[in-house]
Every structure is written in structure tokens, then in C-alpha cells.
Chain A
Amino acid sequence: MKIFLPLDSAAIALGADEIALALQAQAKAKGIDLDLVRNGSRGMVWLEPMAEVQTPAGRMAFGPMDLADVPALFGDLAAHPKALGLTDDLPWMAAQTRLTFARVGVIDPLSLADYRAQGGLTGLARALEMDAPALVAEVTASGLRGRGGAGFPTGIKWKTVSEAQADRKYIVCNADEGDSATFADRMLMEGDPFTLIEGMIIAGLATGATKGFVYIRSEYPIAIHVMQQATLIARAVGLLGPMVMGKGPAFDLEIRVGAGAYVCGEETSLLNSLEGKRGVVRAKPPLPALEGFMGKPTVVNNVISLASIPVIFEKGAEHYKNFGLGRSRGTIPLQIAGNARFGGLYEVAFGLSLGEIVDKIAGGTASGRPVKAVQVGGPLGAYFPRALFDTPFGYEEFAGKDGLIGHAGLTIFDDSADMLAQARFAMEFCAIESCGKCTPCRIGAVRGVETVDRIARGDASAIPLLTDLCNTMKSGSLCALGGFTPYPVMSALTHFPDDFSRTKEAAE
């Protein structure tokens, strides 16, 4: 009997390890030969821990599993109280376009055989037949843009590194996924680590880099473990090492662990941290593509950008490019978080409206109360009111509404949210996490907290001051931390003015 039960952090946080022990104990007691595969999560977090039983008709899903639901998994499956039906037929799964996440939740994350059986290494095999300019051209043609949030065309970044002359070049994977509401990087690394490794090898082939780093935040212990194991396996079979797959040039990987600094998600700060320095931001230029890690040409790409490379080479740039909207090509793994009825990961082509995502896919709030605001793009993203729910999900479309899609995380808030408190938190977070290099961020965030507090005390004259401060931070900061903190603050102020005047009325 074969049962799949996720090793994904979310599943474990909801009790998957305890369910796994119970499954094994139950199988032993009944004398059943149990093959328990710890897979990645399918992304339906409200159903975790979700067990899947292999049946002749396909994989049947059961969840959310409690310990009391374990014995019945060894009985009549159709009569199981948590039976959901075939996983692939569940509406949440059936409506997605899974390109980057095609294997996540499907395979045993550390089985190279599973990986190959599901199309893994096909892209790399094709890439090994191409020269560097052709590889770069393929990525450019796919229209892939940086999924970390900046949206910079990946092909152009690779071209710069590829054409730079140097004795050493590096591929650095930014897995410092610190934005609240985002967990796509974590799920990908936990559920399909070889995809990321394959993407990084292809990046090495395209640019002439022979060494890669994956910088994973320390808050992700399971992702770190899975990536370390996958790297060892890849090295043991010659996927990584002096000759990639026995025919390519050298490429090897190292997994590095962050140390709790949010700002290290910014690429130059990450490079300093990787070099063993304080994670302060570097002024640009020079671009990391020319002077990055140890002053050498370096590709710094987000996990999802690199993990989208294998499928682009497997199915062709054209296939990937045909999904999407405007200049946002391909698919985006939406991460639905916060007060959502159906929270989780949903990969789909760009272009759905925010309202479709919030009302249809997420099913509104978990609390059942009306949706008040949705913060899109993490702690540096704007709060969107219902009036802007017609905004299509794309880089330019969100920028046009004074917001950003960032790493595609969406935090849903119900009507109990106090938007002044959210604005204050944005400033407080910036003050805690500021690297201290530039004044608008270091001092501005502290003054921001004080100014919001003045407004909270009923001092309306502080509102223009807050607006002015946000302008200074936006145009005067070195990186996105100080530069984008005004997005949540100003959007809260602009779209929810009542929350900023209410205290005064109460005082009067």
C-alpha cells in the first residue's frame, strides 16, 4: 500500500509528522506493507495534513487528517470521513496551470528516478546541446522576468553575465524569502529541489559560471535540509561536479543559511552576507551582474525564476511565453495567505483579476466576515481595497495602481483590520530591519512610527507630514526596503482614510 503524506513545513506545522507515525504504527499492527512517501505539498493548505492513497484509479486525497482519521485509511476508502476524491480532479488542482510546480506534491522530492520520470533533466539535456548565446536567447524569448519581485528580464541579466570577462563567475539563488504571505520558494525547495538545481546548472551553462550558492533563510529548516540532501544526491550521481551529466563543464553548488535579516533578500545585501559581511546594501552601479559575489560577475535570481528554467527548456520558450498577459509572460505561483478561506499555492497564467483571486479562488475570508483589504506583494506591497479588485494580476497593471505584485503573495484581511495599525507596523518593520546604510530608511522609518502615532492620537496635521516623509523615503532610499515601505503606508492612508481620522472623532 502506497500513501503520500507531505514533509512540507505547513503540513508538519499542522501535525503531519504525528500522522506519519500513526500510519506506520497502524500498518504494522495490521500487518500491511506500507510504502509511506513524504512528498511536497499540493498547495491546499486548508486541507493539510493531506494524505493521498495510491489506487488503481489514481491518487485519492484525504484531509485535513486528524489522528482519529488514520485507522479508516486502511478500510473502505470511499467511506472515509475525510475522503475528498481524486487529487487531480479537485477543483483547486484542475483549474491551475502548473509549469514550475508541476512536480511539487507529486513526486518523492529526493528521488531522482521520480524526477526523471516526470520530465526532470529533459530541459538540461537539451541545454547541453546548445551554446551560451542560444541558451540566453531562449530565456529572453520566454519573457521570464524576475519572480523575486523586481520583475527584471532574466534573459538580459544572464546576457550581461555571459558576456562579462572574468576568471570566475557565480550563480546565486536568492532563497531569502522573507516577505510575509510568500512561501512559494519554500514549497518548491521542499517539494522539488532538483528543479532548482537543474535551473541553476542551466544558468551556469548559459553564463560560464561554475559555482552556485543557494542562500536560504534560517527560518526554513526543512527547506535547508531537503536542499542539502538533494545537493549530495546530485553530486553523487555526477549531475553536479567537474563534468555536468558526464558531458558538460564543471558546476557545483553550496547551500548557505541566512541569519534572520530581512534585508538580505535584497540582492546586494545578500551578496555581502554571503561574503561573510554585515548584510548592508551596496550602491549600484556596479551591477552584481558585473561585480557581484567577491567582485566577480554574478547572476542573482530568485528560486522561482531559476526553477522555471527547466520547464522553459523542456517545453520551449514559445510554450512558456504563450501564457500570460501584456509584458507579464508565463505563469505565477499565487500564494494566498492571511485570513483566507482557502489558503495555499495556486499557479496560474498572469492576468486574473484580484477580485477573481480573492473571491473565487481564496473563497473570501476564513472568518466569514467581509474582505476589507488585500496586501499584495508582502510587507512592502500596497493594501488594495475592494474598489481596485478589477486590477489584473501583472507587473505593469499593479504598478499602474500604485502597487506591486512582488513575489506574488496576497494577505487577506477582514473588516476587523485597523489600517492605521497596519501602516504603523510597516514603518516599525522597516525600522527593525533597516540595514542602516541610508538615512531615509534608517531614520525615516523611526520618524514614520512616531508620525503615525501622532495621527492615532488625533493630530491630523501629521498626515501631510507622513505623506512628505513617504515621498522622501520612496525617492531617497538605496533599496526597496526604505523605498517601498511607503507603498503599504500610503495605500492604507489613501484607500482607508476613515481609519486615520476615527481616533480624533472619538476624542472629540
Chain B
Amino acid sequence: MLDSVQTKERVEEILTAHIALEGALLPILHAVQAEFGHVPQEALPIIAKALNISRAEAHGVMTFYHDFREKPAGAHVVKLCRAEACQAVGADRVAAHAKKALGIDWHETTLDGKVTLEPIFCLGLCACGPAAIIDGKLFGRVDEAKLTQIIGGLK
């Protein structure tokens, strides 16, 4: 875990690398999240000051987008597609199975901090659903058995 001085230093480095972009806030937030795993609260005032926007605006942007996290996720992030093409081949069943197997609902993390379960609306894998993206790796035709196997393999 970084202390607040180190956090500030890293955020400043990210700002230096991105500040010249036109409309730099999203690339900055992506870079901050890639660095810390979430967007730390203390990063927002620093970013706001550098971009000459209010803290409320920076907060508003960050919370508008589903991708940005206010808190760190679990060690593994399981995202299951909930969109129509995956529904047509059993995504709702697979989601119910995942919730039961993990003992959590959408947007929750298992008590041991191992797995976070999130919905995602379309990975463009609509001809080989149900689709999932787990720790950044894509999976197609995910049925209950395949999901059990994948979740079982997460350390």
C-alpha cells in the first residue's frame, strides 16, 4: 500500500504524462486506475487542480462511468455479460449460478476478498455467448460447468 506522499507523487507523474492531451481527464483516470487498481479519493483534488476544474466536476466525471472504482476490487474480477445476445443462450442462468457459487450479488466481493462479481453489457462476443471477461481474459460459451471450472482455478 502506498502512503499519501507516494500516491501524490505517482498522480503527479501521470498528470505530467497526460496533461497536454485534448480532453485529458478520461486518459488520466484510466492511468490512475491502472496504477492503483481504483481511483483514490486523494487523487481527485490533485487532478482537479491540474485541469483547472472543480473537485465536484472531477468527482462527477469519475462516478459517471461504470469502469472507475472508488475502492479496490477483489483479487480477481469476474465480469459476466448480461446483454440480450447472451441472454438468448442462457446468460441469466449462468449469472444465477455465479451468484450462488460465490455467495455474492452483482458489484459485491467475496468475504475473503478473492473475487468481485460485476455485470458487463456486451463484449462483442455475441455469436459465442454467454460471454465473460475474467481478469482481462475473454471467455465464450460460458455455461455453469465452465464457470465453476474457471472460478475454481482462481487463486
Contact = CB atoms under 8 A, between A and B. Distances in A.
Given A411-B84, A412-B88, A413-B88, A9 B121 contact: no
Interface residues of A, number: 65
Contact of A257 (B30, B51, B60): B30
B84 A259 contact: no
Interface in B54-106: 57, 60-61, 64-68, 83-89
B95 to A, nearest CB: 12
A31 interface: no
Given A9-B138, A13-B140, A256-B27, A411 B88 contact: yes
B14 interface: no
Interface string A396-429: 0000000000000101111001000010010001
28 contacts: A9-B123, A9-B125, A10-B140, A13-B123, A13-B131, A13-B138, A45-B127, A48-B128, A180-B121, A180-B126, A182-B122, A256-B26, A259-B30, A260-B67, A276-B26, A277-B61, A278-B64, A337-B126, A337-B129, A338-B85, A338-B129, A343-B127, A344-B127, A378-B84, A409-B126, A417-B88, A429-B121, A435-B64
Nearest to B127: A343
B127 A221 contact: no
Given A259-B66, A338-B88, A366-B89, A274 B127 contact: no
Contacts of A254: 21
Contact of B60 (A261, A278, A367): A278
B136 interface: yes
Contacts of B51: 276
Interface of B: 21-27, 29-30, 51, 57, 60-61, 64-68, 83-89, 120-129, 131, 133, 136, 138-141
A337 B25 CA distance: 35
Highest count of chain A CB atoms <10 Å: which of B23, B60, B131: B23
Interface of A: 9-10, 12-14, 45-46, 48, 177-183, 185-186, 218-222, 254, 256-262, 273-280, 293-294, 335-340, 343-344, 366-367, 375, 378-379, 409, 411-414, 417, 422, 425, 429, 432-433, 435
A9 B66 CA distance: 22
Contacts of A256: 26-27
A163 to B, nearest CB: 24
